[in-house]
Amino acid sequence: MKDITNLFGSMVFNDAVMQARLPKDIYKSMKKTILQGTHLEHDIANAVANAMKEWAVEKGATHFTHWFQPMTGTTAEKHDSFISPEGNGKVILEFSGKELVRGEPDASSFPSGGLRATFEARGYTVWDTTSYAFIKDGTLCIPTAFCSYSGEALDKKTPLLRSMEAIDRQALRILKLFGNTAAKRVITTVGPEQEYFLIDKDMFLARPDLIYTGRTLFGARPPKGQELEDHYFGCIKPRVSAFMKELDEELWKLGVYAKTKHNEVAPSQHELAPIFTTTNIATDHNQIVMEFMKTIADKHGMACLLHEKPFAGVNGSGKHNNWSIGTDTGINLLEPGDTPQDNAQFLLFLVAVIKAIDEYQDLMRLSAASAANDHRLGANEAPPAIVSMFIGDELKGILDAIESGTSYKGKEKHQMEIGVTVLPDFPKDSTDRNRTSPFAFTGNKFEFRMLGSAFSIAGPNIVLNTIVAESLNQFADILEKSKDFKSDIASIVKKTYSEHKRIIFNGNNYSEEWVMEAQKRGLSNLKTTVDSLPKYLEKKNIDLLTKHHVFSEGEIHSRYEILMEAYCKTLHIEALTMVDMVKGEIIPACMDYQRELVDLLRQKKTYSGNLDCTVEEHFLNNIAKLSACVLKKLTALENAILESSQDREILAQAAFFRDSIFTAMSELRLIVDELETLVAKKHWPIPTYAELLYSVI
Ligand code: ADP
Ligand code: MG
């Protein structure tokens, strides 16, 4: 058996390695830079780079790369080898502080949403010292932020770091008021649970839709779906188990705290959950998890599908973003605690989150928006598109009691007076019963469940950090001037809860009644990506994001453009793939089968006996009729695609894709799926749902 403790982090240039390999004073400066963001002097960068190179070369690395997260949602890397000519035909291995700290990739082919003209192709990658360098596939990877020549963020990491700073600033103000001077930093933490599908690689390669779009664009329902619920937590098949084992080991080497693995609800669906860590590192790690899932699945003869809805009729895949706020001294600020002092602080942070989610429902919703995730949200398998919060009956009871100034009628009677009474004990598990809530309090953290499986978790956490920073900012402004701290806290908790409790819903979020109720409460219901993205540009949201220096106005506009374009492009690719498959595979297959049936009919009719031809005629007729329908729907889709090339403003263009292209695609699929049930299996040109979902044995 491998020694996991030695394996863990063996490919990471982490604190222990730095301490062991760097001279004491260099290590000290480096540590200061990591913890306090101080400037890294040139000679220190050089020394660190050299130690890093020596360590990496010992581990077999030949190249280095600035590893960054452009707006494509995946990661980017351009590898440079360590070699440097020595003049005598030989080379030495070199890596300078300059190369470590800053890179200048030609950035013209990454989405910038108009932030950077191609003639200013230069972009900068800048070392993020808060996330450790690591070796992946023989390359030393240096986590970096990516920005334009003029300093605008072109990636997901830069605004995430800015949002972490924003909440750090505001939360520290609050802590100071509570007399906590030990904490030097407040950090948000995240544990993202990752869902995915594994199917056989040959099946994957036989489906152009999976190859080009990540999801099946056709497929009749298989005889068995997830109705027996026999896959969830079921026994893991040997092939999947071998994959999971290798995945765990490779992730551990990179210091990823891979912890839990199990089968999910849909056939061939699985989940991996790591132990939580700081949001920045959790984001980097989640990107690595997704990448490794794909490459390791491939090694095991399988394909990993991270798309939010690879198959109609069975559950799609999401990502649960478990989020909390903690201090550098190890205190979880969302832990209810059991002393009055902690209670008051906890309740203040709790209502800060409640206020934030209510005021910025739209930002939360749009942070989980994509063409692929539109298939999930509101489809009774994932949270609805309505953002609400679950806090459990006990916490709600407590807040209700505070609001009305009455005693909390829990198991025992408690007079709720903040700062004096201890919070009544409430069983932790009672806060985690509602699996339908988009944003649920789960004991000492919140679980945001709207994210799609393929998402970078950066976007949703940028929003979460910033909106909570804003609540804390407003509270701190009041409390710093307070003459009666205890009474002012009590009135903030009471007032905030009163004003924002409409966002709390402890019932079934999948029910029709909730949609009506939410509407009555005035909550927003932004059903699609196209409905939600324009909210980015609302004044209140621009004001918030610019106030906390998370985005400049230009950056917000660029992100809006990029996300809208990605939506249109996704649907465009799907539409073209559909046309291609129907013309190139589905229609020819129907013709082949019809030809076979016609031949048989002809032979039967010339046969001397009087043979019954009902079956052949039945199938022939129905297939011929449905094929004609397919042609009609195909033509409609092709016309819509043509129409999509007209010049439109981006919002109108996205709406066109949603209303015309998507509708035409759905109608075409319906007929093709029906045809699939009529055409002989040997003629059907692509693997069926049954074959795909049960392909890994
Ligand atoms: P579930 O019932 O949803 O599976 P778990 O208790 O297994 O809940 O936790 C799910 C995730 O929440 C894990 O990744 C875990 O590390 C993470 N988590 C736990 N505590 C925190 C915290 N304080 N901050 C962020 N994430 C946390
Ligand atoms: Mg969970």
- What DSSP letter does each residue of 285-308 carry, written as one string? HHHHHHHHHHHHHHHTTEEEE--S
Residue 334 CA: nearest ligand 1 atom is: 23
Specify the higher pLDDT residue, 275 or 86: 275
Name every residue whose Cβ is closer than 8 Å to that of residue 415 and which is 6 or more positions away in sequence: 407, 408, 421
For residue 28, pLDDT beyond 60: yes
Backbone angles phi, psi at 186, to 5 degrees: -115, 130
**How many whole angstroms from 437 Cα to the centroid of ligand 1?**
16
Residue 444 CA: nearest ligand 1 atom is: 23
Partners of 153 in the β-ladder:
147
For residue 118, pLDDT beyond 80: no
Per-residue confidence (pLDDT) for residue 410, from 0 to 100: 61
Per-residue confidence (pLDDT) for residue 409, from 0 to 100: 65
pLDDT digits (tens, 9 = 90+) for 250-288: 999 999 999 999 988 899 999 999 999 999 999 999 999
The mean pLDDT of the chain is 92
Query: What is the pLDDT confidence band of residue 179, given thresholds at 50, 70 and 90?
Result: very high
pLDDT digits (tens, 9 = 90+) for 628-655: 999 999 999 999 999 999 999 999 999 9
pLDDT digits (tens, 9 = 90+) for 493-514: 999 999 999 999 999 998 889 9
Residue 276 CA: nearest ligand 1 atom is: 16
Query: Averaged over 414-423, what is the pLDDT?
Result: 58
What is the rounded CA–CA span in Å between residue 93 and residue 62? 9
Q: Whose CA is nearest to atom 19 of ligand 1?
A: 276
**How many whole angstroms from 109 Cα to the centroid of ligand 2?**
37
Q: Measured between alpha carbons, how far is residue 235 from residues 194, 264, 269, 555 in Å? A: 19, 11, 12, 47
Nearest ligand, CA 334 = 1
Nearest ligand, CA 195 = 2
HSE toward the beta carbon, residue 68, CA cutoff 13 A: 27
Collapsed DSSP state (helix, strand, coil) of residue 274: strand
Query: What is the pLDDT confidence band of residue 427, given thresholds at 50, 70 and 90?
Result: low
What is the rounded CA–CA span in Å between residue 287 and residue 294? 11
CB 363 within 8 A of CB 467: yes
Per-residue confidence (pLDDT) for residue 423, from 0 to 100: 65
Nearest ligand, CA 282 = 1
DSSP E strand boundaries for 335-485: 389-390, 407-409, 413-415, 439-441, 446-448
What is the rounded CA–CA span in Å between residue 335 and residue 444? 5
Pairing of strands 186-200, 302-305: antiparallel
Per-residue confidence (pLDDT) for residue 185, from 0 to 100: 93
Collapsed DSSP state (helix, strand, coil) of residue 318: strand
Residues at Cβ < 5 Å from ligand 2 ion? 320
Query: What is the pLDDT confidence band of residue 431, given thresholds at 50, 70 and 90?
Result: low
**Exposed/middle/buried for residue 5 (C-beta within 10 Å: 0-12, 13-18, 19+):** exposed
Residue 193 CA: nearest ligand 1 atom is: 14
**How many whole angstroms from 398 Cα to the centroid of ligand 1?**
24
HSE toward the beta carbon, residue 43, CA cutoff 13 A: 3
Partners of 6 in the β-ladder:
none
Nearest ligand, CA 323 = 1
**How many whole angstroms from 309 Cα to the centroid of ligand 2?**
19
What is the rounded CA–CA span in Å between residue 291 and residue 75? 9
Name every residue whose Cβ is closer than 8 Å to that of residue 631 and which is 6 or more positions away in sequence: 587
* Residue of 194, 276, 323, 441 best suited for mutating to test ligand 1, as the one with most atoms within 8 Å of CB: 276
Residue 191 CA: nearest ligand 1 atom is: 14
For residue 368, pLDDT beyond 90: yes
**How many whole angstroms from 276 Cα to the centroid of ligand 2?**
12
DSSP string for 236-260: PPHHHHHHHHHHHHHHHHTT--EEE
The C-alpha angle with vertex 81 and arms to 48 and 38, in degrees rounded to 5, equals 25
For residue 433, pLDDT beyond 80: no
Residue 322 CA: nearest ligand 1 atom is: 26
For residue 429, pLDDT beyond 60: no
Where does ligand 1 bind, in terms of residues with CB under 6 Å?
189-191, 193, 273-276, 322-324, 332, 432, 444-445
Spacing of C-alpha 162 from chain mean position: 19
pLDDT digits (tens, 9 = 90+) for 549-589: 999 999 999 999 999 999 999 999 999 999 999 999 999 99
Partners of 64 in the β-ladder:
80, 140
In the chain, the percentage of residues whose pLDDT exceeds 90 is 77
**How many whole angstroms from 339 Cα to the centroid of ligand 1?**
24
- Model confidence, pTM: 0.95
Each residue of 291-311: b (16+ CB within 10 Å) or e?
ebbeebbeebebbbbbbbbbb
DSSP string for 212-240: HHSS-S--PPPS--STT--STTPPPPHHH
Specify the higher pLDDT residue, 311 or 423: 311
Pairing of strands 186-200, 319-327: antiparallel
What is the rounded CA–CA span in Å between residue 400 and residue 17? 51
**How many whole angstroms from 444 Cα to the centroid of ligand 2?**
13
* Residue of 285, 319, 322, 331 best suited for mutating to test ligand 1, as the one with most atoms within 8 Å of CB: 322
Q: Measured between alpha carbons, how far is residue 459 from residues 161, 253, 342, 551, 694 in Å? A: 11, 27, 31, 12, 34
Query: What is the pLDDT confidence band of residue 335, given thresholds at 50, 70 and 90?
Result: very high
Per-residue confidence (pLDDT) for residue 104, from 0 to 100: 83
Pairing of strands 277-278, 186-200: antiparallel
Query: Averaged over 70-87, what is the pLDDT?
Result: 89
- How do the residues of the chain divide into helix, strand and coil, expressed in percent and rounded to 5? 50, 15, 35
**How many whole angstroms from 606 Cα to the centroid of ligand 2?**
67
The packing angle between helices 392-404 and 340-359, to 10°, is: 100
Query: What is the pLDDT confidence band of residue 199, given thresholds at 50, 70 and 90?
Result: very high
Count of residues in the chain? 697
**How many whole angstroms from 440 Cα to the centroid of ligand 2?**
9
- A 10 A CB-CB count for 249 gives 15
pLDDT digits (tens, 9 = 90+) for 119-134: 566 788 999 999 999 9
- A 10 A CB-CB count for 388 gives 26
